[in-house]
Amino acid sequence: MKSITLLPNSHKGLKIIMIHFPFDEEIKNHIKLLPEVKWSQTLKSFYTKDSISNRNLLYKHIRLKHWFVDYNKLKKQVIPSSKTTAKLVLPVLSKNLGLELSNFKRWLQQKRLSDNTVNTYVEVTAFFLRYAILKKTENYSVKLIEQFNYDFIFKENKSVSYQNQCINGIKKFLLFRGVEIELSNIKRPKKEKQLPSVLSVDEVKAIFNNITNLKHKTLLSLLYSAGLRIGEALNLKIDNIDSKRMLIHIKQAKGKKDRYTLLSHSFLKLLRAYYLAYKPKDFLFEGQNGKKYSNASAQAVLKKSVQNTKINKKVTLHTLRHSFATHLLENGTDIRYIQELLGHSSPKTTMIYTHVSQTSLKNIKNPFDEL
């Protein structure tokens, strides 16, 4: 019997259900029949928004094929029933609009946008087009976009960054269609300026000491020791490691830029032990069938280790990159070098670490001490 596992997770500020299964064309095609199920390039998984109705829909849809559904992890996260305003239910796209959306995706790809950006713009545009069908209009006016903005984003309490992505995606679609519309009047909320969560050196040590699996330990150690984004680490190939110059070559990262970052001597010992044990052939970190490793698996490992060390901070894979930059700054590294290592286009982005650096804060004399 074929088996499918349903797992709780979060994506773009929403609670979701990830749909995991060994690659199988029949399962994939059956899952895609559900209009609310999406594919996430970031998670490398099919998913849908977590709700009671979507859980029931998934169970019934999968059981139509008499396949086994493992939903034990979902049982632990019970969703209370709500008597609030009914959720906005969007109709399915017509075949013609689905085809146009496919053409729009190819158009975006020709603009050499990143895969994540392309997938996000296509996803939010699909929601907008379905909303237009709900409103029985093909007039994509500023008024319709503002209504969509309120009903689909504001009332659903979606993040500011997601709201801006929606507006950007719709703008690109209208440009693709050759529709002239003035979107500058649509007010965009300012993104919250939040300082990154940073781990101490002792906390980083504790997390790594709590990981026994060699592959997991090597991957997470790489994120911290080189200050990498998870996507950059998973895209690394064996020949990107330059042990003679003690550098790591990051190719075509965010903004389509190449850069070099540090290769730690201590990490290199760990990397060599990992290489001998796993013998990757193409990507440095391989998952099943020689494909790239999943960042969802890496996040799960980190989460478990953080829980075991009883660290009460919110820790993600990106926290390791933030901690790398902050610790460099506290050790006296020039901010311009940190900017180059992280691959930031502007020094303003890197300057955020001056706000979380213990060294810079310790040098400030508190006036209360003078009383």
The reported pLDDT for the residue numbered 193 is 63
- Is residue 321 annotated as a catalytic residue, yes or no? yes
Residue 368 covered by a domain: no
Give the domain extent around 128.
Answer: 95-177
Residue 218 covered by a domain: yes
Interatomic CA distance for residues 119 and 124, integer angstroms: 9
Q: Is there a single domain that holds both residue 237 and residue 283?
A: yes
Helix (H, G, I), strand (E, B) or coil at 152: helix
Token readout for 87 is: 């959720």
Interatomic CA distance for residues 230 and 285, integer angstroms: 11
The reported pLDDT for the residue numbered 219 is 93
Q: Is there a single domain that holds both residue 326 and residue 294?
A: yes
List all residues 6 or more positions away from 209 whose beta carbon is below 8 Å from its beta carbon: none
Q: Is there a single domain that holds both residue 57 and residue 125?
A: no
Residue 371 covered by a domain: no
Question: End of a domain among 75, 106, 128?
Answer: 75
Which residue ranges of the chain lie beneath pLDDT 50?
Answer: 80-85
Reduce the secondary structure of 247-296 to three states and give it as a string: EEEECCCCCCCCEEEECCHHHHHHHHHHHHHHCCCCECCECHHHCECCHH
| Residue 129 buriedness (CB in 10 A; 0-12 / 13-18 / 19+) | buried
Q: Say which CATH number the domain at 144 has.
A: 1.10.150
195 neighbors 356 (Cβ within 8 angstroms): yes
Q: Is there a single domain that holds both residue 292 and residue 246?
A: yes
Kind plus residue range of the DSSP H or E element containing 15 = strand 14-20
Token readout for 276 is: 């001998």
Interatomic CA distance for residues 241 and 226, integer angstroms: 11
- Is residue 355 annotated as a catalytic residue, yes or no? no
Question: End of a domain among 24, 42, 75?
Answer: 75
Q: Is there a single domain that holds both residue 328 and residue 213?
A: yes
- Is residue 32 annotated as a catalytic residue, yes or no? no
Q: Is there a single domain that holds both residue 276 and residue 162?
A: no
Q: Is there a single domain that holds both residue 208 and residue 328?
A: yes
Q: Is there a single domain that holds both residue 262 and residue 331?
A: yes
Interatomic CA distance for residues 228 and 128, integer angstroms: 34
DSSP secondary structure string for all residues of 304-318: HHHHHHT--S---HH
Q: Is there a single domain that holds both residue 158 and residue 211?
A: no
Interatomic CA distance for residues 5 and 71, integer angstroms: 6
Residue 194 covered by a domain: no
Question: End of a domain among 75, 104, 126?
Answer: 75
Amino acid found at 103: N
Interatomic CA distance for residues 349 and 224, integer angstroms: 18
Q: Is there a single domain that holds both residue 136 and residue 244?
A: no
Q: Is there a single domain that holds both residue 248 and residue 325?
A: yes
Residue 270 covered by a domain: yes
Quote helix, strand, coil % in the chain, to nearest 5. 50, 10, 35
Q: Say which CATH number the domain at 224 has.
A: 1.10.443.10
Q: Is there a single domain that holds both residue 113 and residue 66?
A: no
- Is residue 353 annotated as a catalytic residue, yes or no? yes
List all residues 6 or more positions away from 238 whose beta carbon is below 8 Å from its beta carbon: 275, 280, 281, 282, 283, 284
Q: Which is the catalytic residue, given 259, 321, 322, 327?
A: 321
Q: Which is the catalytic residue, given 11, 105, 254, 292?
A: 254
- Is residue 229 annotated as a catalytic residue, yes or no? yes
Phi, psi of 260 (to 5 degrees): -115, 145
Residue 367 covered by a domain: no
Q: Across-strand partners of 70?
A: 5
Q: Which long-range contacts (CB under 8 A, 24 or more apart) does 311-315 make?
A: 311/199, 311/203, 311/206, 311/207, 313/197, 313/199, 313/203, 314/197, 315/197, 315/199, 315/207
Q: How many domains does the chain have?
A: 3
**pLDDT tens by residue, 171-213:** 899 999 888 777 655 655 555 566 778 899 999 999 999 998 9
The reported pLDDT for the residue numbered 141 is 84
- Is residue 272 annotated as a catalytic residue, yes or no? no
* Residue 18 vs residues 10, 44, 80: alpha-carbon distances, Å: 9, 10, 19
Residue 190 covered by a domain: no
Q: Which is the catalytic residue, given 38, 130, 216, 229?
A: 229
Q: Across-strand partners of 283?
A: 237
